[in-house]
């Protein structure tokens, strides 16, 4: 079993380079199924979720060449199979993008129900509502989803909840639908814009991504060749921003888009940290104990739920009592029990947690319950007095590339032990 051993107490200093966005990559890769040809995707993060989805695409008949650890050339000219391997698809959440892509490409797909982080109930009713509105038949049976469509016809779809996954999935399914599809109350996250940009680069006609109304005018086919660069990871950049604040460090985060980080920047300034926009990089530093704050997670451009655990670590050592209201996921405070083992004083009930700020944390053996919880516990280990052993780090490897190497480059004392 791999673990991270962290000796805390170092103020982070120096430069870190952000990888391509996980949540964009895991949607763009299935989107290549809509191209009957070859395309090159670069700035892919070197993470396990990307490797799994590439393996699934190979099983469906795609040919993939890794040009280097961040770039693939993928040939989806011939798709030989419409059943995605159930054991692979049920390992991660974004396997649901195979449904939208394959409905568009082949009019048929069977996949396992998506897995991913355990954050409470993760329904896909809005995805199904969208596919059915476009004319598909969707059956759920014994942990599998079977979706079929003779023909997809554009229509208006109103999302009952703002859903990143459903917005992207309906976009994918409607690229070739006859006529115009309108998604109302769409999610606006940067990776939604990135998937739309990728599809438009390849010849799709998608307008309004990044606003709450997206219109997709169906096209007959996409280009048979092209290349695309994945957007930088907003959440990875935000994780390093909060690590700098928590450790009273001073770092420059390169290869990021500062506007995507506005909500995190605003909170950092509110709690007494400093942020300087340097164009395609951002400097973050903090000289004092953070102030208390109230945080509510919301769809973009609100404070991201995927930054909530990292912010929880900062507030656990803030001066005063803070409150976090988690409005997206019902079970995203599991990390607070681990933080309490490190000396934090957090009471979590339902979707609210109260953080009575303590002056210091202490190293302890702790367990990552999911991807972002794992990243948060690394930050806690960096702040704590003494040694922290962090287990279940395979969750972290799903979404962060070389995380310990990036922290080491900032001066952290962190080792991976196999
Ligand atoms: C994506 C992200 C995840 C992030 C989340 C919210 C990926 C691969 N994962 O997950 O990291 O935490 O956005 O920013 O991009 N909902 C429904 N019915 C649906 C779909 C969603 O009720 O059909 C609800 C969910 O229970 C949740 C909310 O809508 O309360 C948002 O979920 P959604 O945006 O769909 O999250 P994911 O796409 O799964």
Tell me the pLDDT tens digit for each residue of 233-264: 999 999 999 999 999 999 999 999 999 999 99
Atom of ligand 1 nearest to the CA of 164: 34
For atom 13 of ligand 1, the residue with the nearest CA is 164
Q: Which of 80-84, 106-110, 361-365 has the lowest mean pLDDT?
A: 80-84
- CB of 23 closer than 6 angstroms to any ligand 1 atom: yes
Q: Check pocket membership of 328 for ligand 1, CB cut-off 6 A.
A: yes
Q: Does the structure show a pLDDT above 70 at 351?
A: yes
The alpha carbon dihedral of 122, 126, 130, 131 has a sign of: positive
For 165-176, the pLDDT digits (tens) are 999 999 999 999
Query: Is the CB–ligand 1 distance for residue 129 below 6 Å?
Result: no
- Output the six-digit token pair for 126: 């809005």
Q: What pLDDT is stored for residue 122 in this prediction? A: 78
Q: What separation in Å is there between the alpha carbon of 326 and the centre of ligand 1?
A: 13
Q: Which residue has the higher pLDDT, 90 or 139?
A: 139
Cα of 53 to ligand 1 centre, how many Å?
A: 19
Look at residue 1 and tell me whether its pLDDT is greater than 80: no
Name the pLDDT band for 44 (thresholds 50, 70, 90): very high
Q: What angle do helix axes 125-133 and 164-174 make, rounded to 10 degrees?
A: 20
- Residues of CATH 3.65.10.10 domain(s) within the chain? 3-19+232-417, 22-229
**Is the beta carbon of 361 within 6 A of some atom in ligand 1?**
no
Joined tokens for residue 114: 């998506």
Ligand 1 atom nearest the C-alpha of 93 is 8
- Taking residues 115-123, what's their average pLDDT? 68
Q: Is 164 in the pocket of ligand 1 (CB under 6 A)?
A: yes
pLDDT of 121 over the 70 cut: no
360: left (phi over 0), alpha (psi -120 to 50) or beta: beta
Tokens of 203: 């010849």
Class of the CATH domain delimited by 3-19+232-417: alpha beta
What's the mean pLDDT in 74-92? 87
Strand partners, 325: 296, 352
Q: What is the pLDDT of residue 117?
A: 59
pLDDT(74) > 90: yes
Backbone angles phi, psi at 286, to 5 degrees: -155, 135
- The answer on pLDDT for 130 being more than 90 is yes
Residues marked as catalytic = 117
What is the Å distance from ligand 1's center to 262 Cα? 21
Residues 300, 325 contacting (CB under 8 angstroms): no
State yes or no: pLDDT of 146 exceeds 80. Answer: yes
pLDDT score at 112: 86
Q: How confident is the model at residue 55 (pLDDT cuts 50, 70, 90)?
A: very high
Which CATH entry fits the domain spanning 22-229: 3.65.10.10, 1.20.1260.10, 3.40.718.10, 3.40.190.10? 3.65.10.10
Kindly tell me if the per-residue pLDDT of 120 is higher than 80: no
Atom of ligand 1 at shortest distance to CA of 165?
A: 38
Q: What is the pLDDT of residues 305-321, one digit of tens each?
A: 999 999 999 999 999 99
Please give the pLDDT value at position 90: 76
CA 163 to ligand 1 center in whole angstroms: 5
Structure tokens at 289: 């104990």
pLDDT bracket for residue 148 (50, 70, 90):
very high
Find the distance separating the first CA and the last CA of the chain, reported in whole Å.
6
Q: pLDDT at residue 91 above 90? A: no
Give the pLDDT confidence score for residue 354 in this predicted structure.
Answer: 98
Per-residue pLDDT at 119 = 62
- For residue 296, the CA-to-ligand 1 centroid distance in Å is 16
Q: Average pLDDT for residues 373-377, to the nearest whole number?
A: 98
């Amino acid at each position: 079993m791999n673990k991270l051993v962290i000796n805390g107490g170092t103020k982070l200093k120096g430069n870190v380079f952000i990888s391509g966005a996980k949540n964009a990559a895991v949607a763009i890769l299935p989107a290549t199924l809509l191209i009957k040809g070859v395309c090159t995707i670069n700035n892919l993060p070197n993470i396990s979720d990307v490797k799994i989805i590439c393996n699934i695409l190979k099983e469906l008949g795609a040919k993939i060449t890794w040009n280097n650890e961040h770039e693939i050339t993928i040939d989806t000219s011939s798709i030989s199979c419409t059943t995605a391997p159930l054991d692979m698809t049920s390992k991660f959440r974004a396997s649901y993008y195979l449904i939208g892509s394959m409905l568009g490409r082949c009019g048929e797909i069977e996949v396992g129900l998506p897995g991913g982080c355990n954050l409470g109930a993760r329904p896909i009713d809005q995805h199904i509502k969208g596919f059915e509105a476009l004319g598909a038949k969707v059956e759920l049976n014994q942990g599998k989803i079977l979706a079929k469509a003779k023909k997809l016809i554009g229509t208006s779809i109103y999302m009952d909840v703002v859903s990143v996954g459903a917005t992207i999935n309906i976009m994918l399914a409607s690229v070739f639908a006859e006529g115009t599809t309108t998604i109302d109350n769409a999610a606006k996250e940067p990776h939604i814009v990135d998937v739309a940009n990728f599809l438009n680069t390849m010849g799709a006609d998608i307008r309004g991504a990044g606003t709450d109304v997206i219109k997709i005018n169906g096209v007959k086919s996409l280009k048979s060749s092209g290349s695309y660069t994945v957007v930088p990871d907003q959440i990875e950049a935000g994780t390093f921003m909060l690590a700098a604040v928590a450790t009273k460090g001073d770092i420059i985060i390169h290869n990021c888009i500062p506007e995507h980080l506005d909500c995190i920047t605003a909170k950092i300034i509110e709690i007494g940290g400093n942020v300087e926009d340097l164009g395609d990089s951002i400097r973050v530093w903090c000289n004092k104990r953070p102030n208390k704050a109230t945080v509510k997670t919301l769809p973009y451009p609100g404070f991201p739920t995927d930054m909530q655990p990292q912010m929880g670590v900062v507030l656990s050592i803030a001066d005063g009592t803070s409150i976090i209201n988690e409005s997206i996921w019902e079970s995203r405070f599991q990390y607070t029990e681990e933080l309490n083992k490190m000396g934090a004083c957090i009471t979590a009930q339902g979707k609210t947690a109260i953080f009575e700020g303590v002056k210091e944390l202490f190293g302890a053996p702790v367990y990552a319950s999911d991807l972002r919880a794992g990243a948060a516990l690394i930050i806690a280990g960096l702040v704590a007095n003494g040694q922290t052993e962090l287990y279940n780090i395979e969750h972290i490897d799903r979404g962060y590339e070389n995380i310990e190497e990036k922290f080491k480059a900032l001066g952290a004392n962190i080792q991976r032990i196999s």
